[in-house]
């Protein structure tokens, strides 16, 4: 009961309205807000499975992350690369995180395909297009090259937990990009490419255990730029679903103006590096 716990669980299509969720969290009688991360139709399967399990006496464990989709081996990535008819350049990187951080710090967008695919509508570092949010114009560049969407639609920041403690007000769990927060004034000029004109951002706080490599990349960005923050948007073109397989990623990569793709440990480029 809300009056006893001051905690609210929210699901359904309306729960994906991040501004509404910020408004709910501002209510004096709501201290914690949990938004089911796949609140649209795809979440119905999860709800049905949870209902049946609970009715059969199973103890349903809390959802710790949404990296629940398929992952692909190095062998599968190599097979996809070798099938390409386009002139394709790739190399296996000994330190893929370092290479990715260098590309991002130099001001380039990066397609990032790592580990298991996310469940739900948000790209959370498994199938993402990334940029350095302190690079002027990076959001417009991603829009022009890949997304072709209205500029008023803000891109989202993925952040380290220690950065989140300074960045968002009030402090609240934010693992799934389901709530907007007021960005601290001291941070708005540091990462302008991911702050909406009203001073808010739809933040993802990245948990190290949930996605170690994405967390490592944020740490590398912290070292190279002083900001443990990345612009994060879904790995797809306008009107298409988020990519799933290596073949999907390569089709999308060669169908847009992106120049860099980190396909697991493989750096894929259109020109020799």
Provide the residue count of the chain.
273
pTM, full prediction:
0.94
* Whole-number pLDDT of residue 146: 79
* Whole-number pLDDT of residue 150: 66
* Whole-number pLDDT of residue 30: 95
Listed as own residue / partner, the contacts of 2-10 with beta carbons closer than 8 Å and 24 or more positions apart are 2/29, 2/30, 3/29, 6/30, 6/31, 6/32, 7/31, 7/32, 7/33, 7/34, 8/32, 8/33, 8/34, 9/34, 9/36, 10/34, 10/35, 10/36, 10/39
* Whole-number pLDDT of residue 238: 85
3-state secondary structure 148-197: CCCCCCCCEEEECHHHHHHHEECCCCCCCCCCEEEECHHHHCCCHHHCCC
* Whole-number pLDDT of residue 35: 95
**pLDDT tens-place values along the chain, 273 residues long:** 798 999 999 998 899 999 999 999 999 999 999 999 998 887 888 889 999 999 999 998 989 999 999 999 999 999 999 998 777 899 999 999 999 999 999 999 999 999 999 999 999 999 999 999 999 999 999 988 777 766 667 799 999 999 999 999 778 999 999 999 999 999 999 999 999 999 999 999 999 999 999 999 999 999 999 999 999 999 999 889 999 999 999 999 999 999 999 999 999 999 887
- Going edge to edge, which strands form the sheet with 200-202? 168-169, 180-183, 200-202
* Whole-number pLDDT of residue 147: 73
């Amino acid at each position: 009961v809300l009056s006893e716990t001051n905690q609210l669980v929210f699901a359904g299509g309306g729960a994906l309205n991040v501004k509404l969720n910020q408004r709910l969290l501002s209510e004096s009688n709501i201290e914690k807000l949990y938004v089911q991360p796949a609140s649209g139709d795809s979440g119905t399967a999860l709800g049905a499975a949870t209902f049946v399990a609970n009715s059969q006496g199973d103890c349903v464990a809390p959802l710790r992350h949404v990296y629940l989709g398929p992952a692909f081996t190095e062998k599968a990535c190599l097979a996809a690369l070798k099938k390409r008819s386009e002139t394709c350049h790739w190399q296996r990187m000994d330190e893929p995180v370092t290479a990715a951080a260098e590309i991002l710090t130099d001001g380039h967008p990066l397609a990032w395909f790592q580990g298991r695919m996310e469940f739900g509508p948000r790209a959370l570092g498994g199938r993402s297009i990334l940029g350095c949010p302190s690079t002027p114009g990076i959001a417009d560049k991603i829009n022009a090259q890949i997304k072709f969407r209205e500029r008023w639609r803000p891109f989202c920041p993925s952040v380290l937990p220690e950065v989140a403690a300074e960045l968002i007000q009030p402090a609240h769990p934010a693992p799934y990009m389901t709530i907007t927060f007021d960005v601290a004034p001291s941070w708005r000029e540091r990462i302008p490419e991911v702050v909406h004109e009203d001073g808010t951002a739809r933040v993802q706080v990245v948990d190290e255990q949930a996605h170690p490599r994405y967390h490592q990349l944020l740490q590398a960005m912290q070292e190279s730029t002083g900001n443990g923050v990345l612009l994060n948007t879904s790995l797809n073109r306008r009107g298409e679903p988020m990519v799933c397989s290596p073949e999907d990623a390569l089709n999308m990569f060669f169908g847009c103006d992106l120049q860099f793709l980190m396909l697991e440990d493989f750096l894929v480029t259109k020109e020799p590096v």
